[in-house]
Structure 1
Amino acid sequence: MLTPTFFISRDSGGSLVEQIVNAVANRIDDKLLRTGARMPSIRQFADEQEVSRFTVVEAYDRLVAKGYLESRRGAGFFVRERASMLNNVPTTAQIAPVTQNLDVVWLVRNMFRQLPPQKMPGSGVLPHDWLDGELVANGLRSISRLNQNLLLHYGTQQGFLPLRQQLQLKMAELEIAASPEQIVMTSGVTQGLDLVAREFTQPGDTIFVDDPAWFLMFGSFAILGTKVIGIPRLHDGPDVAKLAELAALHKPKLYIINSVLHNPTSTSLSAAKAFQVLKAAEEHDFMIVEDDVYCDMHPGPAVQAATRIAALDQLNRVIYLGGFSKTLAANLRVGFIATSPELAIRLADRKMLSTLTTTEIGERVVYKILSEGHYRKHVDRIRVKLDGVRDDITKRLEQQGMKVDYRTPAGMFLWTETGCDTNKLTEKAMEQGYLLAPGSLFSPSQLPSTKMRINIAAMSDPGVWEFLKREIN
């Protein structure tokens, strides 16, 4: 009998039955539960997960109805061959076998599963208990008391004006001058990057990214038919000599860069490197897209030097992106683009043609939190919590035989050297219910890597440490 690992959360918002159904279905889809495998008995499953037998019965019945399990009288429940259950679907003998390769889509799909945050050291978000759900809930309650007509219509083309005015003040603190007319609200930084890429590139064009860098861009840009080339990232920013060399050769249209608290290394751009990057952009005529989504986790120049290229350029050749998914709530999907007035109009038009307006309800919530002064205190608490675990996590990783490439004093990520193939390590971890982030996914080349990104806020589960000790040592 196969006894798979399941994780049931009473705080996830989903019913226990739905969580069990989703967990089993996901494992069958990913071939972690094989056809013909016997499931734990109803009593065994209920005892192991500390749920009622009625909950397990209902979950198993739903899985049978969906074609994932079959019930054999007197024998129990077994994983079913789903292809043969579906009408007009070729059997496995008629189609090529599907392999579960680790790629960008694999990591994104698994990040959105209902695993507890402490079992996802490879995730890119803070655990729920590090955030302030009541702060967001209060904002939603306040919005719900408004004139209902305000909640029923579309938002405005560039986004909720009071929030854009508030962002003008926020950016002024970073020495970036931007009027509300230069700001376009987006559904997170992800949409901002997509809009900019579609505005500036055609199939066959080249986009530069850092290497390593945020993996989601690679798949997104590939869909557009562009060529993505990585610029090696050093401790104080990109390798500018390599940047100039590759720019002369490939004539890129865009260079996407995390200047502050780079994902995945948590390094920040020095002033000298910022000037050199801007100079290269002017010489080779490409636009810089500065993704500053981790902006508010940075403690300031007194702790870690950091220069934003947009502050040097004032939004002429630099397009600045920001958002609140990392610090408030990913589900709000509130981001923004700051750029020249002319380009802001074009990007707002492009947004309208693709998705109409962004959701004003979320923008009103963020505006309330920012304008009433709650946000500053909230991000201060996040920084304090990160500072409280960073050194200990770093030390424990090194005791496990791993090396932390850059010991930075800020940020939520550590970029580590494991000494082993992290693709294989990740596959083993997933079999045991843990999500890791292998280094191969952070490079445009997608080649096997011994590197791995660690989210220091998601390392509280003892099982994660036991797994790393067993597999790396």
Structure 2
Amino acid sequence: MDAHTSKGGAGGDSAATARQKDSRGQAPAAPARALQLVLPSTARLPDPIPSAQMTLVEQLTEWARMRIDERVFRAGMRMPSIRQLAQEKGISRFTVVEAYERLVALGYLESRRGSGFYVRERAPAAPAASAASVSHDAAAARKIDVTWLLRSMFHTAEAHKAPGLGFLPNDWLDGELIASALRGLGRQPGNHFLASGTPQGFLPLRQQLRTRLEELEIRAGAEQIVLTSGITQALDLIARLYLQPGDAVLVGDPAWFVMFGRFAAQGAQVIGVPYTGEGPDLEALERIVQARRPRLFVINSVLHNPTGTSLSAAKAFQLLRLAEQYDFLIVEDDIYCDLCPPGHAATRLASLDQLRRVIYLGSFSKTLAANLRVGFVAAHPETAAALTDSKLLAGLATPEINERVLYKVLTEGHYRKHVERVRTRLDRARDDTRRALERLGLRLFPGQHAGMYLWADSGRDSNAITTAGHEEGYLFAPGSLFSPSQMPSGWMRFNVASSGDPDMLRFLAQQLERL
């Protein structure tokens, strides 16, 4: 019988009785130690967050709160009984009672007499709009739960336990590049950093980016380049400029998931285009274009996220022809540009189109630091001017200090060698990861792979693998994250820089055997 029944609950004590004993001091105070997990064969509950600075009650409260926030424990779910959780953790029932009561006070749980504790619905859904006011497609777009995806994607995990990471581990990067740039800036007069910056961004950096684009055979003057706070802000500015509620936006299926929610928030209909080893399926693309008349098509032409493949020259020419024929713009996200090995077969749409119908995006967050939020847009002069106005309205200027740091990094002469070292290391890690995944029976996506990612079919529900991994401290990236439909999938994205841990591979093998 459960801990909230009148007889036999929690070893004969009701929750109320346990609280009374605790308040009279008959239960010993919980020392500040990490909880040791005792798992019966039927239990798969993780340890609370260990910390020498937290009591057992605080640890248990934080553990449950995180699981509820991340929707591992969902609204309406019954929590483990007081007796069960105490036995499994090897702790006092009084500790569990106090933690549950704190969660009730915080609004995470509700207590039901005679039944137990349940996860409380904390964010009721908004009333459904009438069919007359909202189209079916617009309603479907709003179902994309980007917050849940981001929480899952950025769940705290050590790099070696996180094959689903979307960036390189810190020990793959060179913090001294940024530290040296900061020291150099510190020797400059302080009044250089007091102004609000310019709407298009730090001019010397834009001039440096113009030189880099020339190396990619993309001609763009400094006036055609707009600095942004990363690729995410660049996409946001483009969405504000070009999209109205009901407009169609095409993305790859699979593709980078963050933009799905951004476009849906703008009221757009996000439509996936099937992908091949050489780029989008152009026959499918043309059928969709004829039926939906999209405003934009967003694509990684080089080192596509998540497949790690690149657009072939033949597909690139055909894609530009379709864009011209059906009058849509192409947004080319080249965030993985510097990770592309020399000699790798890759075609950039902007180099063929010269920014007439292509809007080109770049960033350095994958090669320098995830928190160095400096990206850029290169576009037709009229488009660049319009995006600058949109940037002013959305948030004035971007932080010029970050832009000055990036400028020094790019001009001090060490960045290219750093990138070469990273590419060489990725090549070795990719070969090792490929062999490990194939030994486990996973099927790799076809095509020539390079960069950070491998896309592999597990033949199982990757959502189930991800949920089990989350409970054991592993971060996986399931295929459902990368599809606008959000449907369950067997595919998974593996970051080759963080997929070599033997324990992680053993855990994955166990899940493949279990499911």
Same fold judged by TM-score > 0.5?
yes
Aligned equivalent of 1:148:
190
Gaps of 5+ in 1: 10-14, 46-70
| Partners of 2:225 and 2:379 within 8 A in 1 | yes
Select 1:336's aligned residue among 376, 379, 401: 376
Matched, 1:127 2:147: no
Distance in 2 between residues matched to 1:365 and 1:39, nearest whole Å: 54
Q: Deviations over 1:308-340 (max 9, x none)?
A: 010011001000000011110010111000001
Aligned equivalent of 2:217:
175
Select 1:268's aligned residue among 310, 321, 326: 310
| Partners of 1:103 and 1:441 within 8 A in 2 | no
> How far off is 1:131 after superposition?
0.6
Aligned equivalent of 1:188:
230
Amino acid at match of 2:169: P
Distance in 1 between residues matched to 2:261 and 2:499, nearest whole Å: 28
Superposition pairs for residues 219-368 of structure 1, below 5 Å? 219-300=261-342, 302=343, 304-368=344-408
Q: Deviations over 1:323-362 (max 9, x none)?
A: 0111100101110000011111110111111111111111
Distance in 1 between residues matched to 2:484 and 2:71, nearest whole Å: 27
Q: TM-score, normalised to structure 2's length? A: 0.78
Residue 184 and residue 423 in structure 1: after superposition, are their counterparts in 2 closer, same or farther (change >3 A)?
A: same
| Partners of 1:203 and 1:225 within 8 A in 2 | yes
Gaps of 5+ in 2: 1-34, 38-45, 74-78, 113-118, 125-142
Residue 357 and residue 172 in structure 1: after superposition, are their counterparts in 2 closer, same or farther (change >3 A)?
A: same
Aligned equivalent of 2:505:
465
Aligned equivalent of 1:55:
none
Distance in 1 between residues matched to 2:198 and 2:454, nearest whole Å: 39
Matched, 1:79 2:119: no
Matched, 1:431 2:471: yes
Distance in 2 between residues matched to 1:16 and 1:415, nearest whole Å: 40
> How far off is 1:466 after superposition?
1.2
Aligned equivalent of 1:50:
none
Aligned equivalent of 1:441:
481
SS of the residue 1:320 aligns to: strand
> How far off is 1:144 after superposition?
2.2
Matched, 1:105 2:147: yes
Amino acid at match of 1:160: F
Superposition pairs for residues 30-109 of structure 1, below 5 Å? 30=70, 34=79, 36=82, 37-38=85-86, 78-82=98-102, 84-86=104-106, 96=121, 104-109=146-151
> How far off is 1:104 after superposition?
3.9
Amino acid at match of 1:360: E
> How far off is 1:26 after superposition?
1.9
Residue 95 and residue 147 in structure 1: after superposition, are their counterparts in 2 closer, same or farther (change >3 A)?
A: same
Distance in 2 between residues matched to 1:40 and 1:159, nearest whole Å: 56
SS of the residue 1:280 aligns to: helix
> How far off is 1:91 after superposition?
5.2
Aligned equivalent of 2:23:
none
Worse-matched range after superposition: 27-36 or 251-260: 27-36
Select 2:199's aligned residue among 134, 138, 157: 157
> How far off is 1:84 after superposition?
3.4
Residue 5 and residue 95 in structure 1: after superposition, are their counterparts in 2 closer, same or farther (change >3 A)?
A: closer
| Partners of 1:7 and 1:116 within 8 A in 2 | no
| Partners of 1:419 and 1:450 within 8 A in 2 | yes
Max Rg structure = 2
Superposition pairs for residues 400-411 of structure 1, below 5 Å? 400-406=440-446, 408-411=448-451
Amino acid at match of 2:327: D
Residue 16 and residue 130 in structure 1: after superposition, are their counterparts in 2 closer, same or farther (change >3 A)?
A: farther
Superposition pairs for residues 2-41 of structure 1, below 5 Å? 3=37, 4-5=46-47, 25-27=65-67, 29-30=69-70, 34=79, 36=82, 37-38=85-86
| Partners of 2:276 and 2:446 within 8 A in 1 | no
Aligned length: 436
Matched, 1:419 2:438: no
Distance in 2 between residues matched to 1:151 and 1:24, nearest whole Å: 44
SS of the residue 1:332 aligns to: coil
Distance in 2 between residues matched to 1:92 and 1:219, nearest whole Å: 35
Residue 31 and residue 38 in structure 1: after superposition, are their counterparts in 2 closer, same or farther (change >3 A)?
A: farther
Aligned equivalent of 1:215:
257
| Partners of 2:36 and 2:47 within 8 A in 1 | no
Amino acid at match of 1:368: K
SS of the residue 2:197 aligns to: coil
Distance in 1 between residues matched to 2:447 and 2:54, nearest whole Å: 43
Matched, 1:373 2:393: no
| Partners of 2:278 and 2:447 within 8 A in 1 | no
Distance in 2 between residues matched to 1:394 and 1:332, nearest whole Å: 30
Residue 461 and residue 243 in structure 1: after superposition, are their counterparts in 2 closer, same or farther (change >3 A)?
A: same
> How far off is 1:462 after superposition?
2.3
| Partners of 2:226 and 2:388 within 8 A in 1 | yes
Distance in 1 between residues matched to 2:410 and 2:418, nearest whole Å: 10
Q: Deviations over 1:358-411 (max 9, x none)?
A: 111111111111111211111101101101111111111111111111353411
Residue 72 and residue 418 in structure 1: after superposition, are their counterparts in 2 closer, same or farther (change >3 A)?
A: closer
Q: What's the C-alpha RMSD, in Å, of the aligned pairs?
A: 3.0
Q: Deviations over 1:195-231 (max 9, x none)?
A: 1111111000000001110011111111111001111
SS of the residue 1:121 aligns to: coil
Residue 383 and residue 134 in structure 1: after superposition, are their counterparts in 2 closer, same or farther (change >3 A)?
A: same
Aligned equivalent of 2:156:
114
Residue 152 and residue 347 in structure 1: after superposition, are their counterparts in 2 closer, same or farther (change >3 A)?
A: same
> How far off is 1:32 after superposition?
5.6
Amino acid at match of 1:369: V
| Partners of 1:39 and 1:78 within 8 A in 2 | no
| Partners of 1:267 and 1:408 within 8 A in 2 | yes
Distance in 1 between residues matched to 2:510 and 2:333, nearest whole Å: 37
Amino acid at match of 1:432: E
> How far off is 1:78 after superposition?
4.9
Amino acid at match of 1:80: Y
Amino acid at match of 1:199: L
